[in-house]
Amino acid sequence: MHYIKVKNLAFHYEDEPVLENISFEVDSGKLVMLTGENGAAKTTLLRNILGLLKPSKGSVHISSRNRFGEKLVVGYIPQQVASFNAGFPSTVLELVQSGRYQRGKWFKRLDKEDKEHVRHSLESVGMWEMRHKKIGELSGGQKQRISIARVFATDPDLFVLDEPTTGMDVHSREEFYKLLKHSCRDHGKGILMVTHDHEEIRHYADQHIELVRKEDSPWRCFSMDSCKELSKPHSLSR
């Protein structure tokens, strides 16, 4: 089932082309990585997909329903999401628990299932032991991990992740990639992830989309070099 379908997308800043000829899908149960050099408009593409920017031409469709026919829930982690200052009053546990209230529980107490989901989300990013710490006391990498845990606590059907492993060490990144693969394989989640660590994650990803600069372009315009299934890479010039 297609959770995201992008067809012939192009995006211009005023009259300057930035993206052209972008077409791909993200299906339930699939982990898709999006790569490209610095400045390759990867974040711009995500913002078009999420409706934060409007394509100059082409189309983007995000399914309204998940594979069970229920309303699709999207979890988005932007770049530099962990921008809490030292005076942020919440504890780690309180912040991640707040992710459960998005499921219509603002005036309800969290039940056993909610609490187990929160614990699993924190354990998955190695932060359960620090659950009672104030967020302002954490390092940048730790803040990034609890931000990810909060999104996991919402239990979305579709994850859109923009450089989510910034500030993580090698072991933390490896565990995170395992969690993503488990979420796809065992729970049918769809994941679109921008990353620079494509060699680390390629063993977990199902598909690789690469943005490359168009030749003879007077502007920094990028198109899809390839949209390939892993692990049999090939290149399709456009």
Structure tokens at 10: 């192009």
Q: Is 18 left (phi over 0), alpha (psi -120 to 50) or beta?
A: alpha
Average pLDDT across the chain, whole number: 85
- The 10s digit of each residue's pLDDT in 132-161 is 999 888 887 888 888 889 999 989 999 999
Does residue 102 surpass a pLDDT of 50? yes
Top-tier CATH class for 1-73+158-233: alpha beta
* Whole-number pLDDT of residue 203: 87
Q: Which of 158, 157, 119, 163 is nearest to 141 (CA)?
A: 163
Calculate mean pLDDT across residues 160-183. 87
Domain positions in the chain are 1-73+158-233, 87-155
**What HEC string does the chain produce?**
CEEEEEEEEEEEECCEEEEEEEEEEEECCCEEEEEECCCCCHHHHHHHHCCCCCCCEEEEEECCECCCCCECCEEEECCCCCCCCCCCCCEHHHHHHHHHHHHCCCCCCCCHHHHHHHHHHHHHCCCHHHCCCEHHHCCHHHHHHHHHHHHHHCCCCEEEEECCCCCCCHHHHHHHHHHHHHHHHHHCCEEEEECCCHHHHCCCCCEEEEEEECCCCCCCCEEEEEEEECCCCCCCCC
pTM of this structure: 0.84
Quote the crossing angle between the two packed helices 112-124 and 140-153, to the nearest 10°: 140
Q: Exposure pattern of 189-214 as b/e (b: 16+ CB <10 Å)? A: bbbbbbbebeeebbebbbbbbbbbbb
Residue 76 burial (C-beta neighbours within 10 Å; 0-12, 13-18, 19+): middle
- The 10s digit of each residue's pLDDT in 207-236 is 999 888 876 655 556 776 655 566 543 333
